[in-house]
Amino acid sequence: MEEANMERVYGVNLEDIQEISDRMEPLFEELEEEFGAEPVLLGMAMIGLITERTGRAGLDQLLFGIRHIRQQVMDEEKAVARAAKQARRHRP
């Protein structure tokens, strides 16, 4: 459903987003090296650019997406912790 929504709203699918990410990675690495910047600072700069171009509506959409990604990461962390806990329980 999320992918269908992205296609409807942005005209892209998950593969497109992955390709964009792959193409941006070398630029991130170059900027990290050139400015000694952490990835989070580069992300903040990108958020500033997005906000300049799209205003509050774009920022709100970005925040929604970030919350979704954060929840996915937290769910993955919980699953790993549960699996580790179960593995410890079943050790002889």
DSSP string, 43-77: HHHHHHHHHHHHHHHHHHHHHHHHHHHHHHHHHHH
pLDDT at residue 2, as a whole number: 57
What is the mean pLDDT for each group of 10 consecutive residues in the chain (92 residues)? Answer: 58 84 93 91 92 93 88 93 91 74
Which residues span the domain enclosing 25?
14-90
Degrees to nearest 5, angle at CA 70 with 58 and 76: 150
pLDDT at residue 76, as a whole number: 93
Domain assignment present for 71: yes
> CA torsion angle for 57, 63, 65, 69 (degrees, to 10)?
180
Domain assignment present for 1: no
Name the token pair of 57: 């509506």
pLDDT at residue 86, as a whole number: 92
Question: What is the domain count for the chain?
Answer: 1
Domain assignment present for 9: no
Name the token pair of 64: 């929604």
